[in-house]
């Protein structure tokens, strides 16, 4: 098992864990509520809350990127295997011709 595959499986397990999903939703919702509830006059607090929301979204996106990276690696490996199989089939036909 490659390191990317291992990390992707770990990330997938975390993302599918109900407790993690609940925590993710609570964090994002709390930050969104904070941003929306602050008056425009409280610019610094509002900017800080927006920054925290963006940071939280990026944090959770990292897990998805690990999974996407593995999917891409797996697709590239499948493509390479198909190319090798085609190459071998062509060589076999040429030997039999």
pLDDT value of residue 18: 92
Ranges of residues in the chain whose predicted pLDDT is under 70 = 1
Query: For 49, how many CA atoms within 13 A lie in the half-sphere containing its CB?
Result: 19
What pLDDT is stored for residue 1 in this prediction?
A: 66
Q: Where are the alpha helices (DSSP H) in the chain?
A: 3-16, 18-37, 43-96
Full-model pTM:
0.60
Q: Using CA atoms, how far apart are residues 49 and 43, in angstroms rounded to an integer?
A: 10
Neighbours of 83 (CB within 10 A): 10
């Amino acid at each position: 098992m490659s390191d990317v595959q291992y990390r992707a499986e770990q990330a997938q397990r975390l993302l599918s864990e109900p407790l993690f999903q609940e925590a993710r939703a609570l964090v994002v919702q709390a930050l969104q509520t904070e941003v929306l509830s602050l008056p425009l006059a409280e610019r610094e607090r509002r900017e800080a809350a927006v920054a925290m929301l963006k940071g939280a979204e990026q944090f959770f996106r990292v897990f998805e990127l690990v999974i996407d990276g593995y999917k891409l690696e797996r697709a590239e490996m499948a493509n390479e295997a198909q190319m090798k199989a085609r190459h071998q089939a062509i060589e076999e036909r040429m030997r039999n011709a």
